[in-house]
Structure 1
Amino acid sequence: MTSVHEIVILGGNFAGVDLVHHLQRQVLPLLKKAAGQTKFHISLVSPNTHFFFKVAAPRALINTTLISEEKIFKSLAEGFKQYGESVTLVRGKAAGLSPETRSVSVELVGGGSQQLKYDTLFIATGTTSTSPLWTLHDDHQASLDALHKLHAALPNAKTVLISGGGPVGVETAGEITAAYPNAKITLVVGGGILSTLKAGTIAKAKKLLADAKVDVLTNTRVTQATTEGASTVVELSNGESKTVDIYIDGTGATKINSEYLPKSWLDSTGRVTTRDAYFRVKGDSQADVSGIYVVGDIVAGSTNTAIEMNAQVTTAASSFAVDVLSKLGGKTGSSGGLLSFIPGFGSKGVAQKEFKPMKDTMIVPFGPSAGVGQAMGWSLPTFAVKKGKAEHFLINMVEPAVTGSKYPQL
């Protein structure tokens, strides 16, 4: 008798989309060979209809000539239609999880709810920023509206204040100064500029900001921002108050999307803890967490980078493959060998893949021809930063991500 193994993925942007494609194109083809008459079905739960390539947002906010909205917002349905009925999009948000019944309660967009049974569950609901410029806010139209608002306001803006000293804040400052050199830019930083990078890289970034005449306020936070007519009054933690034409909140993730999960599964920040290095959820002694994995920014200890997420996807997917094959009585192999180029699989078949992201690696453009970066801790020259990201903001990566071609079909 044919049985169906139900896979539920919660979250529909980078991690969730990658999981669908990686499973469909590289993992499930191998499992099907060992699973007999077992079929696999994926349900992706997301309130959004579109994928948002948020990496390019700092340039896309300037105008549509530099990066059009069609290049960074892509239909999920279009990306998944190649898989037919084996992938179902469920428009909604996870509202609760029952390990006892192995089901997820979903609040559907437009009203109503649905219970989704799972054999395997991937948690990939990530984080949300205060501004929809940087992450999806349930409907991609909110992000579009935020971009359009800046497109209209920036050409006439004389003063712009940006909060956040991470890549988003620095890149946004660089894009605005490149496009509108006469605008006075203030960058408010809670700690220091690009604080996770090496001292030499940080020094280069500070020089770029100084040369562009960006006023940087370190160890300072925005406590309140109030729009008054065409201006915004920004209150700072140092007691200052600044009235500017445009205020951009670039502080990154401010909400962890884990409210539907048991609190005992979370760390003090609200992220999901794992029981091993392979992204199996730790859970607690009261719940059956077998077959539950977590990927992306919602992972406890995550550095919130795309480089890390890519490595998490292949490792978590291999954990799923190993666990399923073990239940079916099959044998798993060692990673490596002739097929080691296939993430998670070795020459002997299904294998557990180690989590090995590129550490201390980041590229931060400052306009289209400058920026800073490091790879494995080593400083990158300007031409490498320019070619690596500054020229096109990695737009060439959008189609492979949405269509799944980044994962060769087995």
Structure 2
Amino acid sequence: MSQTKTILILGGSYGGVATAHYLLKHVIPSLPQKETYKIVLVSTSSHFFCRPTSPRALTSEDAFPKDKLFVPLTKAFSQYDSGCIQLVTGTALRLDHINRTVSVCISADSAEQKIDYHALIIATGATATSPLFGLFGGHTKTEEAWVEVRKQLPDTKTIVIAGGGPTGVETAGELGQYLNGRGGLFGGSSSINKTAITIVTRSSQILPDLPLPLAQKAEAQLAKLGVSVIKNRKIIGVTPPDAGAIAKDDSDLMHITDSVEITLDNEKSIKADLYIPATGVSPNTAFIDKVLLDGEGYVNVDSTLRVKNGAGPRVYAIGHVSSSQPRAIHAIMNQTPVLCENLKLDLLAGEGQNGSGYRELAPETKKSQLVVIGGGGVGVAFGWKIPGFPVWLIKGRDYWLGMTPGMWNGKQFEKAG
């Protein structure tokens, strides 16, 4: 029997799941020695998570059906023969790109396992500061963080949100609508705001990737929901220091406190009952040699999505962990066929067939960003401004939850791209 060639995928979110489906549907079946290939997908979570839903999901248990927010990866890949793909719940500890192995800590027993690979796809994504907006290992930690916040909301009088990007703005809008009234596109300003909500941003405007008039429109919509904005200010201290983040004690839960003090760079301080950091993400690349990373810590890829700087043959990266821009879910859907078709040529070359026609990812020259604010929102799509009602209609109804099944079950890639 021929030796098994492992295609190792690190990451069980959008990039990892998408590439696994594409390879299983279109690449491996087309290879002359298809029976020799096996996909091993390593994920820190046993479940796929629809991350865009977080700003609304954290407000109420009834916001979305739980079974649609978190889907077992076993369900996502149940359509394939078990011999084609192996799912491993664990965390990548070290990538040895010289000897082409990855050391993984297996979650079930904390044992370390070394996995050799014939091809490698790095799709480990990026991690937010707060577990409210992403996975920290198993999906239950995010659920627990939501539960803790929901418990506190009824008695919360003041909320401070750090970060004026889409996540911070959408979270402020959802909390404002949930606690203070409808507002947004169709409602007027609340006569009585039960909860004072404040966004603090170091930028001169919220939503810095959007034109100033749209940012101003967003700020006006937020005001109707009882949300104020402090601009051009940096948060330099938070007491207690782990407020809003994963606690450093044995509880391993989000640290919620009844009294949080936020210090700004103008020496003023704000007290809040609830503090939510929404200040961006960090790439999950601690297990990778820095020679393969760019200056910001992202995996350095070229236009074919191959990892540069001596990573070795058949090594790719996709999604929020890579240096490819923009870092967005819709971009992953565009990246997937490029990566997988290029890897197909590499695999054919490994079988002695000369491949040609490698694809390059076309740069996205026109921005697309939709931001939901209560019953309205602001945004641009491929450079065109989108009115508030279409933003709500396209994204605001369910934060893409209805579109997510096609991504985790592979129907998004029924046809080769």
TM-score of the pair, normalised by structure 2? 0.87
**Which has the larger displacement, 206-215 or 139-148?**
206-215
Q: 3-state SS of the aligned residue for 1:297?
A: helix
C-alpha distance in structure 2 between counterparts of 1:291 and 1:36, whole Å: 17
Where in structure 1 are there 5+ consecutive unaligned residues?
335-350
Give 1:1-400 correspondences, 5 Å limit.
1-29=1-29, 31-32=30-31, 35-36=32-33, 38-83=35-80, 84-109=82-107, 110-181=109-180, 182=193, 183-191=195-203, 192-227=205-240, 230-253=258-281, 255-274=282-301, 276-284=302-310, 289-330=312-353, 332=355, 352=359, 354-355=361-362, 357=364, 359-367=366-374, 369-400=375-406
Alignment deviations for residues 92-130 of structure 1 (CA, whole Å, 9 cap, x no partner)? 211112233221111222321111111100011121111
Alignment deviations for residues 246-277 of structure 1 (CA, whole Å, 9 cap, x no partner)? 11111120x32112111111111111112x30
Alignment deviations for residues 327-353 of structure 1 (CA, whole Å, 9 cap, x no partner)? 33446576xxxxxxxxxxxxxxxx636
Q: 3-state SS of the aligned residue for 1:133?
A: helix
Name the Cα RMSD after superposition. 2.1
**Mapped contact 2:345–2:356 kept (Cα < 8 A):** no
In structure 2, the residue matched to 1:348 is: none
Alignment deviations for residues 175-199 of structure 1 (CA, whole Å, 9 cap, x no partner)? 1111111211100112131111223
Change (3 A) 1:185 1:294: same
Deviation at 1:237, TM superposition (A): 2.2
In structure 1, the residue matched to 2:244 is: none
In structure 1, the residue matched to 2:252 is: none
**Mapped contact 2:104–2:112 kept (Cα < 8 A):** yes
TM-score of the pair, normalised by structure 1? 0.88
Change (3 A) 1:140 1:358: farther
**Mapped contact 2:161–2:275 kept (Cα < 8 A):** yes
Deviation at 1:46, TM superposition (A): 1.5
Q: 3-state SS of the aligned residue for 1:139?
A: coil
Identity fraction in percent? 32
Where in structure 2 are there 5+ consecutive unaligned residues?
181-192, 241-255
Alignment deviations for residues 301-324 of structure 1 (CA, whole Å, 9 cap, x no partner)? 533211222222221112101222
Q: 3-state SS of the aligned residue for 2:286?
A: coil
C-alpha distance in structure 1 between counterparts of 2:257 and 2:330, whole Å: 41
**Letter matched to residue 269 of structure 1:** E
The count of corresponding residues between Structure 1 and Structure 2 is 385
Change (3 A) 1:400 1:247: same
Deviation at 1:36, TM superposition (A): 3.8
Q: 3-state SS of the aligned residue for 1:81?
A: coil
Deviation at 1:389, TM superposition (A): 0.5
Deviation at 1:358, TM superposition (A): 7.4
Deviation at 1:85, TM superposition (A): 2.1
**Letter matched to residue 112 of structure 1:** A
Change (3 A) 1:306 1:99: same
Q: 3-state SS of the aligned residue for 2:83?
A: helix
**Letter matched to residue 387 of structure 2:** P
Q: 3-state SS of the aligned residue for 2:131?
A: coil
Change (3 A) 1:264 1:333: closer
Deviation at 1:163, TM superposition (A): 0.8
